[in-house]
Amino acid sequence: MKKLMMTTVTAMVALGLIIQPANAFAKKEEIVNVAHRGASGYAPENTMAAFEKAVDMKSDMFELDVQLSKDGELVVIHDTSVDRTTDGSGKVKDLTLEELRSLDAGSWFDEAFTGEKIPTLGEVLDEYRGKIGILIEIKSPSLYPGIEQKVADALTERNMHKPNNNKIIVQSFDHDSVQTFHSILPSVPLGVLVYNPDHLTDQRLEAFSEYASYVNPSKSLVDRELVTRIHDYDMDVHPWTARDRESVQALKEAGVDGIITDYPDYVD
Ligand code: G3P
Ligand code: CA
């Protein structure tokens, strides 16, 4: 029904029966600036230094990746092993919180960041609630049964489970996990991450719209037609990951609602 109404409105616009606003293509005038893994072009990804840099650069939100330690604590790190972004080695799920916290998560990026730690999700929420929006990606949830409940608990304990202005969004590439989260905490806006173009059919978009507010595709999949189709299902689009000014410009021209970028200064 929603799709039919949008199609009718589009037809009325085409016939000149409705006057379009100046910025008719984008739904909003401001593009949401999302610092990917924090401002990770300028500081080591998924560290407090990168999140602080996102605040300094006046991003609207930062994105982070959450996984579980061996002892079931929510930790903020992208890869499922610590090898690339710390001075340690091994899988995140095989290391305790104490072991993970003993690692240096900064010097791989630059010596100036020596001593940065792998943060816990709670630490990040406590430090940044009310200061900046937080886009939480549940990373590889099939490795971590029950992680959705733990993320929901972390938000609820802090009374962050009814976020204003979409200042907390939870997303995942694992759409079953997103639906699980929705069943636990339906008040939190959700996003589906997509890298496969076959997952962007109208049928899929309609199914996403039952529980998600955002469809966040790889930037390589984004054009005006896709953005329009996602908007037709009343969802927003925050593509990833823009790492050059040309990509940012192309995404703006496609009418996206937000841009997930390592370089927040490229967006404004
Ligand atoms: O927020 C989207 C983006 O983070 C997804 O890709 O690999 O950087 O987690 P990845
Ligand atoms: Ca991510």
Residue 94 has pLDDT above 70, yes or no: yes
Cβ of 61 closer than 6 Å to ligand 1, yes or no, is no
Kindly write down the DSSP assignment for every residue of 224-261, as one continuous string.
HHHHHHHHHTT-EE--B-B-SHHHHHHHHHHT-SEEEE
Per-residue pLDDT at 165:
83
Q: Which ligand is nearest to the CA of 135?
A: 1
Ligand nearest the Cα of residue 169 is 1
Domains of the chain in sequence order = 28-64+132-267 (3.20.20.190)
Which positions ≥6 away from 47 have C-beta within 8 Å? 38, 105, 106, 113, 116, 117, 118, 119
Q: Is 21's pLDDT higher than 50?
A: no
Taking the CA atoms of 121, 124, 130 and 135 in sequence, report the sign of the dihedral they define: negative
pTM: 0.90
State what percent of residues in the chain have pLDDT above 70: 89
pLDDT of residue 134: 98
Pocket mutation for ligand 1, best pick of 32, 34, 36 (most atoms within 8 Å of C-beta): 36
Any catalytic annotation for residue 175?
A: no
260 alpha carbon – ligand 2 mean position (Å) = 9
* DSSP label at residue 112: G
Distance (Å) from CA 13 to ligand 2 centroid: 38
What is the predicted pLDDT for the residue at 28?
Answer: 56
Query: Which ranges of the chain does DSSP label H, i.e. alpha helix?
Result: 2-14, 48-56, 97-101, 121-128, 147-157, 175-184, 202-208, 224-232, 245-254
Question: Residue of the nearest CA to atom 3 in ligand 1?
Answer: 240
Mean pLDDT value across the chain: 92
pLDDT reported for residue 268: 87
Q: Check 78, 175, 182, 231 and give the catalytic one.
A: 78
